[in-house]
Amino acid sequence: MFNSQFYTMKNLLFIILITLNSCNMFGQDQSSKKAESKNVDTTNIEKIILSEEEWKSKLTPEQYYVLRQKGTERPYTGSLLGNKDQGTYVCAGCDLPLFKSDTKFESHCGWPSFFDEIEKGKIKYVKDSSLGMVRTEILCAKCDGHLGHVFDDGPNPTGLRYCVNSLSLKFVKD
């Protein structure tokens, strides 16, 4: 006999594992050696430091969950995933420019993907060993907001895929 709640949780876990596997993020060391080599000095960026209450009043609950609590939006739900307009993607927490639209590409993983950052030093790279995986987390260098992760399976010229939550970005049209 199975408890129906247990069976539902088991199915949900299976769906999550399939999603992670389809994005090439489960069961293997995904720490990005290319991205780690890009980790440059970010001390020239003026930091923004706010209390948790100030962040909560500045951000929506969903943005707070992603940017401050290192959450992840569900795949294929982000408002910027299908955006094809020309412009700049900035941090939703502090407006620091992070990516240009001409570096965005369709990776079919469910989150906006870019092959390069807008400028060296705008993104911090941190080893992330959570959830039984080893990945490279990307953070905004100005506010330390969680953006997503970077992987070594992107297109030329960098070979990188910056997999970013839409909730951690705002788009500024040219």
Based on the structure, what is the number of domains in the chain?
A: 1
Q: Active site includes 163?
A: yes
The per-residue pLDDT for range 51-93, each reduced to its tens digit, is 999 999 999 999 999 999 999 999 999 999 999 999 999 999 9
- Residue 143 sits in a domain of what CATH number? 2.170.150.20
Q: What is the pLDDT of residues 22-37, one digit of tens each?
A: 454 443 444 555 555 5
Cβ–Cβ < 8 Å for 141, 42? yes
Rounded to an integer, the average pLDDT of 140-145 is 97
Please indicate, yes or no, if residue 12 is contained in any of the structural domains.
no
> Is 4 part of any domain?
no
Residue 103 belongs to a domain:
yes
Q: What is the pLDDT of residue 38?
A: 56
Of 146, 31, 162, 21, which Cα lies nearest the Cα of 105? 162
Give the single-character DSSP code of 29: B
Share of the chain above pLDDT 70, in %: 75
Rounded distance between C-alpha atoms, residue 78 and residue 33, angstroms: 27
Distances from the Cα of 101 to the Cα of 71, 81, 131, 146, 170, angstroms: 24, 12, 30, 20, 12
Give domain status of residue 23, yes or no. Answer: no
Looking at the predicted structure, is the pLDDT value of residue 140 above 50? yes
**Containing structural domain, residue 42:** 28-173
Q: What is the pLDDT of residues 152-162, one digit of tens each?
A: 999 999 999 99
Write down the pTM of the prediction.
0.79
63 belongs to a structural domain: yes
